[in-house]
Amino acid sequence: MFSREGKGPESVELPDGKILRRTDLPPPDTRRWVASRKAIVARAVLHGLLSEVEACRLYALSEEELQSWIRALVRHGDSALKVTRLQKYRQL
């Protein structure tokens, strides 16, 4: 699981009323980024559980990659984070 390194909150409430906790985040050594894991990290950044810098460092992501996940999630929802849907949503 995730060990706390940052100074951010332990949990945040999402707009749908669900609670997102640091323990819900994918492990730092994640290499296979399925849509659900991307969505958790993007939501954590969007709602202040992780800073962008912390997320990029923790998961070895580029700022551009993280921003693309956040943009896709905000504009089109979870399904836009699926590899099979990337091309369709990038054209919009």
Which residues of the chain are modeled with pLDDT < 50?
1-4
Instruction: Look at residue 2 in the predicted model and tell me its pLDDT.
Output: 45
pTM of the entire predicted model: 0.84
Q: Which of 43, 20, 18, 40 is nearest to 30 (CA)?
A: 40
- State the CATH number of the domain containing residue 60: 1.10.10.10
What pLDDT sits at residue 22?
A: 97
Residues 52-72: b if buried by 16+ CB within 10 A, e if exposed: eebbbebbebeeeebebbbeb
Structure tokens of 53?
């810098």
Q: Which of 15, 18, 91, 24 is nearest to 46 (CA)?
A: 15
Length of the chain in terms of residues written: 92
Residue 59 belongs to a domain:
yes
Instruction: Pull the structure tokens for residue 59.
Output: 């998961």
- Residue-number span of the structural domain to which 31 is assigned: 11-91
56 found inside a domain: yes
* Residue 22 maps to a domain: yes
